[in-house]
């Protein structure tokens, strides 16, 4: 079946809920059994709250369908999904390869908790070629961490080539697919073993719940599931319900985010105050051809480098925006603007653009109004 049909139907069982279209919010810790032997043998659709409910299962099944995964594990946040995926393979003396463009808190985890447990993390250039990655893989390398487009800087990786190189060496790959959002990109179709989602963003889609999901192939599902059980990873009932609800409109929202985002990005590209628009769907993006080869579209998140005389003027530009909110996260229906400083984060590569980097999330407003808001903002830079 086509993807839009599957987004509507995967994981739904109305007959189980007296015909209700959506699964109810199962608020569960204890599950009671009629027979002690059923409990002893873990026979039943629900065993205990932490192990999942029909509400969480509906989300996991639908996302597995979209990502082409054998199993998906719901976690309390996107970062919790990342830590669960990493801890499923981490070992003392182990070596972890992470893209230099990875979401910044990933580095905190690698350089903090994982380093304390005896894991060495090596960061690599997101533009690395397969041969280069092969050379970095050691006998003790336990995982390669990919993210494309990169957080803040939007580099596109040659994911199929990198995943194949790691697989040839017997090393699993994990991919942060928050930007591709299970719709515009499906990592497992490109040879990746694990797709990790900050479902907080587009899957929830309304800026009102935290959710992380680890989508595993057959080879990795057992390691991830056991790690989640041992860590006590679980997702809240209300959060699972809101993710389920958001998921059903994921593709329509994303298509509109794409249209609006490209309209705003193209307009920005024509402005004299703008040094560079970093949007993979624009022909000017250095990796546009790779994006076009592997992705089915672009979400509403991209970067803009502006030429600004001073930080004060930048602050005036952003603070005065009326339709773009200022705040962490993205993927909701509303537009957001944030400043970003990749030069302070990167270690394997350098960020050398001159000017200030602004990260925009283009929401579902009419792009004409968003452009008018940005036009007034750019005027404040003068």
Order of strands, edge to edge, in the sheet holding 301-306? 274-278, 301-306, 356-361, 336-340
Q: State the catalytic residue, choosing from 12, 186, 201, 359.
A: 201
- Residue 50 appears among annotated catalytic residues: yes
Task: Give just the sign of the alpha carbon dihedral 12, 15, 20, 25.
Answer: negative
Count of CB atoms within 10 A of residue 329's CB?
A: 15
Cα 129 to Cα 157: distance, rounded to the nearest angstrom: 9
- Of all residues in the shown chain, the one whose CB is closest to ligand PLP is 78
**Least distance from ligand PLP to the Cβ atom of residue 148, Å:** 10
Q: Which is nearer to ligand PLP, 174 or 188 (CB)?
A: 174
Q: How far is the CB of 77 from ligand PLP (least distance, A)?
A: 3
Residue-by-residue DSSP string for 16-61: GGTT-SSPP----S----SSHHHHHTT-SS-S-GGG--HHHHHHHH
Whose Cβ is closer to ligand PLP: residue 198's or residue 274's?
Answer: 198
Distance CA 85, CA 197 (A): 11
Encoded tokens for 263: 């309209």
Q: For the chain, what is the radius of gyration of the CA atoms?
A: 21
Least distance CB 39 / ligand PLP (angstroms) = 34
Check 65, 100, 158, 176 and give the catalytic one: 176
* Residue ranges that bind ligand PLP, judged by CB under 6 A: 77-79, 103, 151, 176, 178, 198, 200-201, 210, 212, 329
- The residue behind tokens 């002893």 is 40
Minimal distance, residue 106 CB to ligand PLP, in Å: 7
Task: Check 3, 50, 167, 225 and give the catalytic one.
Answer: 50
Per the annotation, the verdict on 176 as an active-site residue is yes
Catalytic residue among 57, 65, 103, 202: 103
CB atoms within 10 A of CB 267: 17
Provide, rounded to whole angstroms, the least separation between the CB of residue 87 and ligand PLP. 15
Between CA 103 and CA 286 the distance in angstroms is 20
Stated as kind and residue range, the H or E segment containing 84 is: helix 78-87
- For ligand PLP, the closer CB: 197 or 306: 197
Residues 357, 129: Cα–Cα separation, whole Å: 26
Q: Is 368 a catalytic residue?
A: no
| Residue (53 or 151) nearer to ligand PLP, CB | 151
Beta carbon of residue 104, minimum distance to ligand PLP (angstroms, whole number): 9
103 counts as catalytic: yes
Nearer to ligand PLP, 195 or 274 (CB): 195
- Nearer CB in complex with ligand PLP: 193/273: 193
d(CA 241, CA 298): 26
Cis before 149? omega within 30: yes
Catalytic site positions: 50, 103, 176, 201
């Amino acid at each position: 079946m086509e993807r839009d049909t599957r987004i509507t139907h995967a994981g739904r069982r109305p007959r189980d809920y007296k015909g209700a279209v959506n699964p109810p919010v199962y608020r569960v810790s204890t599950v009671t059994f009629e027979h002690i032997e059923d409990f002893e043998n873990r026979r039943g659709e629900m065993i205990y709250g932490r192990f999942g409910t029909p509400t969480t299962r509906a989300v996991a099944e639908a996302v597995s369908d979209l990502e082409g995964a054998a199993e998906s594990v719901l976690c309390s946040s996107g970062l919790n999904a990342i830590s669960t995926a990493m801890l499923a393979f981490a070992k003392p003396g182990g070596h972890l390869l992470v893209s230099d463009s990875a979401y910044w808190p990933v580095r905190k985890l690698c350089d903090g908790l994982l380093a304390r447990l005896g894991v060495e993390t090596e960061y690599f250039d997101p533009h690395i070629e397969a041969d280069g990655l092969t050379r970095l893989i050691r006998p003790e390398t336990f995982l390669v961490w990919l993210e494309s487009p990169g957080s803040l800087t939007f580099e596109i990786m040659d994911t199929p080539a990198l995943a194949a190189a790691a697989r040839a060496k017997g090393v699993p790959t994990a991919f942060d697919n928050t930007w591709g959002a299970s719709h515009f990109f499906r990592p497992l179709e490109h040879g990746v073993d694990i797709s990790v989602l900050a479902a907080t963003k587009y899957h929830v889609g309304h800026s009102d719940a935290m959710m992380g999901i680890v989508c595993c192939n057959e080879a990795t599902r057992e390691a991830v599931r056991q790690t989640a059980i041992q860590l006590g990873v679980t997702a809240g009932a209300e959060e699972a319900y809101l993710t389920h609800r958001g998921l059903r409109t994921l593709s329509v929202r994303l298509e509109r985010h794409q249209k609006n985002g490209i309209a705003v990005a193209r307009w920005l590209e024509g402005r004299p105050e703008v040094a560079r628009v970093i949007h993979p769907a624009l022909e000017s993006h250095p990796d546009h051809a790779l994006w076009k080869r592997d992705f089915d579209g672009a979400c509403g998140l991209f970067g803009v480098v502006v030429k600004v005389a001073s930080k004060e003027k930048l602050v005036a530009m952003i603070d005065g925006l009326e339709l773009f909110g200022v705040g962490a996260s993205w993927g909701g229906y509303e537009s957001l603007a944030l400043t970003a400083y990749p030069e302070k984060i990167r270690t394997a590569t350098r960020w050398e653009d001159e000017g200030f980097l602004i990260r925009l999330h283009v929401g579902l407003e009419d792009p004409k109004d968003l452009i008018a808001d940005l036009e007034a903002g750019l005027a404040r830079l003068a």
